[in-house]
């Protein structure tokens, strides 16, 4: 059992032996993106709705048009302004790690 954990042995002046056992750590920063920050705002996962720390969540950035593709051409023709460009919106979609790996947005953690 002791082989799997990191441990440190310390001997006292009165020959008392102390064994400190540390749990093994999977990731150096615990899956978070930024270290030494403390508390971070939590965001909702887009798929399952659980709360994830913002620096831990997987972010998917989408740039898409406001209007649906089928209607887009009709509005372009009907508009008074020549060469009218329909504005785009930028959306950030947040996913928790289990959803991001399951939906294959991100292969590695």
Write out the residues near Zn ion by the rule CB under 5 A: 45, 47-48, 96, 99
CB of 67 to Zn ion, least distance (A): 29
Dihedral Cα 90, 44, 52, 54, nearest 10 deg: 30
Q: Given the complex with Zn ion, which of 47 and 67 has the nearer CB atom? A: 47
DSSP E strands: which ranges in 12-107? 17-22, 42-44, 51-53, 58-65, 88-95
CB of 96 to Zn ion, least distance (A): 3
Q: Given the complex with Zn ion, which of 60 and 67 has the nearer CB atom? A: 60
């Amino acid at each position: 059992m002791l082989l799997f954990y990191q441990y440190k042995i310390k001997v006292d002046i009165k020959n008392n032996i102390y064994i400190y056992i540390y749990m093994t750590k999977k990731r150096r920063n615990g899956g978070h993106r930024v270290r030494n920050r403390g508390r971070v705002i939590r965001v909702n996962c887009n798929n399952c709705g659980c709360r994830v720390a913002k620096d831990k969540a997987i972010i998917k950035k989408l740039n898409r048009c406001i209007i649906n593709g089928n209607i887009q051409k009709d509005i372009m023709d009907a508009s008074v302004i020549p060469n009218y460009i329909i504005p785009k919106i930028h959306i950030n979609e947040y996913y928790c790690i289990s959803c991001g790996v399951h939906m294959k947005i991100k292969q590695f953690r």
